[in-house]
Structure 1
Amino acid sequence: MNRIGITGAHKSGKTTLAKAVAKKWNIAFVETSLSDVLRAYGVTPNEELPFAKRLEVQQGMIGHLINILSDAGDNFIADRTFMDIAAMTLSFMPHNVSSIESETVRLIIDQCYRAQEAFFDKAIIVTNSFDPPMEEAAAEKGIFCWSWNFQISAIVKGLALNPMNRCNTSFLPETASSLPRRMEHMERMIGEMYQETAGQLH
């Protein structure tokens, strides 16, 4: 199986890279837009929410992503992973939370780690160095904020390096800020994955 997920902050180039990889290696591209989840809860990406409500939304996102990936097959690349949802959850968490909210966060993180292992064979983390498009954010798209994106990138790295992460994970170098440079690294990673798969079949 070659189930690949791209992880990174908002506007770090996840979708652009995933589409390019899908086209070059002729694998399915799985778009993991969470706009439907936000609409279902009646919220927008840039809206301030009470943390308890935010946790409800994040749990809805996990279920939505599970549903999408359950029908994706065994050979795909997705432009988001459960690690993104875990990182966003932690980024929204205030310093003072109730014991119930704290336990809910723990359960969300645990569920994200378990789903990451179950639905992905490889996670590839992109950094905040990708040049975002100079355009106004649509109503259902989050606004680009460098400092918040930097925070998300740092959280993602911490989640990936935690022993609870049992999904094979690689990092694209910080210097790979353009699509051609990223594709060079992806070619090596994809090649290694196919070699491992071929070896398992013999």
Structure 2
Amino acid sequence: MASSKKNITIIGLCGGHRVGKTTLAAELARQSAFIFVPTQTSAVFLRHHLRPDMPLDFATRLWIQNEVLTDAQRLWQAQTQDFITDRTPLDFIAYTLADIQAQTPVEFAALTDYINRCFQATLQFFHQLILVQPGIPLVFETGKAALNQAYIEHLNILLLGLLHDERMQSHLMVIPRDMLSLQDRCDYILSHFTTVTSTIED
């Protein structure tokens, strides 16, 4: 079957867990012409009898992160209109890197391949990435990643670095740390948003 092209605008919110990405994405969709397409990271873990909050050896972590990316790509590929989503491939890189300590055994070639996959997916789907930084009160939710303020800060700093990697070509926006009101965040994004269109091949 011949391929067809879809010209749609895609916004990706990135950031650590429990910083308000999903709530913000849903509210932005309500106030704009975008639809909200939530990612299904927890569902991918559960499908493989894992949980985002459970300790994993790094080989398993890298394997499940590849599954998460593949699932997200299928989801984004299937869209036919402008959308906003609450996870990006840069989030997937950050969570993977955050599991590495000085003594962690890592197959570096496999890690590099995964990181390259994530950057390629970012370039394919996203032209506008928005970092949602920590600051709102943390609320526990069963099955989510560790509710650890220092860990969330670690992820945020990793993402700040990834957003400025030379492989990035997307428009970038960082919501100020002290901007915690949901409406203030929406207003900031909508007033600074750069309209771009991503061409996706079926």
TM-score (normalised: structure 1): 0.88
Partner of residue 11 from structure 1, selected from 14, 18, 43: 18
Identity of aligned residues (%): 25
Please tell me whether the aligned partners of residues 90 and 118 of structure 2 are also in contact (alpha carbons under 8 angstroms).
Answer: yes
Q: Note the aligned Cα RMSD (angstroms).
A: 1.6
In structure 2, the residue matched to 1:113 is 119
Alignment partner of 1:37 is 2:41: no
Query: Stretches of 4+ moved more than 4 A in 1?
Result: none
**1:97: how far off?**
4.5
What is the correspondence of 1:16-165 to structure 2 with a 5 Å cutoff? 16-98=23-105, 101-133=107-139, 136-138=140-142, 140-165=143-168
Higher relative contact order (CA 8 A, sep 6+): 2
**1:6: how far off?**
0.3
Gaps of 5+ in 2: 1-7, 198-202
Please tell me whether the aligned partners of residues 4 and 123 of structure 1 are also in contact (alpha carbons under 8 angstroms).
Answer: yes
Letter of the aligned partner of 2:103 in structure 1?
A: N
**1:25: how far off?**
0.4
Please tell me whether the aligned partners of residues 33 and 82 of structure 2 are also in contact (alpha carbons under 8 angstroms).
Answer: no
* Secondary structure of the structure 2 residue equivalent to 1:124: strand
**1:98: how far off?**
4.5
Residues 53-101 of structure 1, C-alpha deviations (whole Å, 9 max, x = no match): 11101111110110110112240000111110010000011323556x2
- Provide the rounded CA distance (Å) in 1 between the counterparts of 2:109 and 2:103: 13
* Secondary structure of the structure 1 residue equivalent to 2:65: helix
In structure 2, the residue matched to 1:174 is 177
**1:145: how far off?**
0.9
Please tell me whether the aligned partners of residues 131 and 177 of structure 1 are also in contact (alpha carbons under 8 angstroms).
Answer: no
- Provide the rounded CA distance (Å) in 2 between the counterparts of 1:6 and 1:75: 14
Matched positions, count: 190
TM-score (normalised: structure 2): 0.88
Which is helix-richer, 1 or 2? 1
- Provide the rounded CA distance (Å) in 1 between the counterparts of 2:111 and 2:179: 32
In structure 1, the residue matched to 2:187 is 184
